[in-house]
Amino acid sequence: MKNQSIVIALGGNALIREGQRGTVAEQFENIRRSLDGIVYCLREGYTLVITHGNGPQVGNLLLMAEAARNEVPQPSLGVCVADTEGAIGYMIQQSLTNRLRKEGINRCVVTVLTQVIVDKDDKAFSHPTKPIGPFFTKQEAESLRQERGWHVAGDNHRGYRRVVASPNPLEIVEESAVKTLLESGDIVIAAGGGGIPVVVREDGDLEGVDVVIDKDLASGVLARDLKASCLIMLTSVEHVFLNFRQPNEQPLSKLRREEAQKYLREGHFPPGSMGPKVQAAINFLNWGGKLAIITSIDKVREALQGSTGTVITR
């Protein structure tokens, strides 16, 4: 796989760790501590594209918007995704640039604001399931539902939240720009937070939609379009598990695509956590990718060397 491309998807704990408030200083520090695996890949000769999550950051923006809703215009969800994609890209870009200078690696790091096309007829639009933003009382939620046309739902007895659709990503609009940058030797940060969701109108124009796209599924599409050899998804655990956090939990080191699909159907990988990662791996392999790896942020080197992580192959 040397001199081939890898898409590395940074999980949320690369940015905000459990128990933290998520200040800018904390996020910079967390990113700096997450760069060892990226530097290892560069030294091994891989071409790199980095993706990342943005759920807590979008939630914070929406919380600020609600607090100031009588003072400033409300931003659309798509604009919030774009704002956070740029802000997080900046933090990764600066942190990695500084690290590369200290390592003596002369490479440019570039963030590409990425639009991702979804199907306007995706069934997910009629079944919103993804909770976002602040919590509301039942009365506040009902008022917002009537005033703004929001879908709202109860969330773990903590109150009510807005829920939005999460359609499947289809295409990366800026794919050719990412390819051009990679061919120039640059390291690219793209599809942050799953990318900015857009649909194609009948006249061919792109139009933003207030939905969210799963980061791992979008990373798989990006890896497909770039013909990457490997998709690496980094999270808080070293392996994918069967019966996770149960007395009989079982770490999985190697999985065939068919096994992964079987376990996914059986419900071993929840939709809100490991499920999208396993589905993204299966999609990538179905599209011709060679292998996908799921492991923790600090185990990239070991996973690529075959000593840890969950490797999913065709």
Residues annotated as catalytic are 12-13, 130, 215, 277
Which residues, 6+ apart, have CB-to-CB distance to 169 below 8 Å? 116, 117, 118, 194, 195, 213, 214, 217, 218, 221
CB-based contacts of 10-13 (< 8 A; 24+ apart in sequence): 10/34, 10/50, 10/51, 10/52, 10/53, 10/92, 10/234, 10/297, 11/53, 11/233, 11/234, 11/235, 11/236, 11/297, 12/53, 12/55, 12/56, 13/235, 13/236, 13/297
Q: List all residues 6 or more positions away from 109 whose beta carbon is below 8 Å from its beta carbon.
A: 92, 93, 96, 97, 100, 186, 187, 188, 189
DSSP codes of every residue in 60-111 = HHHHHHHHTTTTSPPPPHHHHHHHHHHHHHHHHHHHHHHHHHHHT----EEE
Question: Could you identify the residue written with the tokens 């950051």?
Answer: 57
**Dihedral sign of CA atoms 165, 171, 176, 178 in order:** positive
Structure tokens at 202: 């009948």
